A = this chain, B = another copy of it.
Amino acid sequence: MGWPIGKASELSGVGIETIRYYEREGITPQPDRTAGGRRDYDSGTVAKLRFVKRCRELGFSIAAIKTLLKLSHSDDATCEEAGKIGQQNRVLVREKIADLKRMERALDELVASCRKGRTDCPMLQKLFAD
């Protein structure tokens, strides 16, 4: 007897509905069931849930996490491969940062001249310009 889904959720930080979603999607393994048909989690599956949670917080896609989980349970040297996936993700993260910084700078400029009581709006005008 391990833990029911509510406890697994608490221990891993993954929401109950999300745990069932990960199971449906084949990201985490199907846990045992109790006589009454309820999910019964062992520490290994809880660890995998925690792993998925941390990976998501680092911006990894579900597809990448599936690969990382497979790698982490294979015998061959997988450090290089795992590192590559981490680096690829970092590239994506950096691209997103660059995009958002561009947005921030553009917004700074657009918002700067908006003021109470103006009848024209320079921001809207610039966005509408040819």
A59 B111 Cβ-Cβ under 8 A: no
* Chain B contacts for A106, CB-based, 8 A: 58
A111 B97 Cβ-Cβ under 8 A: no
B123 A79 Cβ-Cβ under 8 A: yes
A118 B80 Cβ-Cβ under 8 A: yes
> Interface majority SS on A: helix, strand, loop or mixed?
helix
Interface bits A112-130 vs B (CB < 8 Å: 1, else 0): 0011111111111001101
B72 A115 Cβ-Cβ under 8 A: no
Give A49 Cβ to nearest chain B Cβ, in Å.
11
A71 partner, pick from B78, B119, B124, beta carbons under 8 A? B124
26 A-B pairs whose Cβ atoms sit less than 8 Å apart in the complex = A47-B130, A55-B127, A58-B106, A68-B124, A77-B116, A77-B119, A78-B124, A79-B114, A79-B118, A79-B120, A79-B123, A80-B115, A80-B116, A80-B117, A80-B118, A82-B121, A82-B123, A83-B121, A84-B114, A86-B110, A87-B111, A89-B107, A90-B104, A93-B100, A93-B104, A97-B101
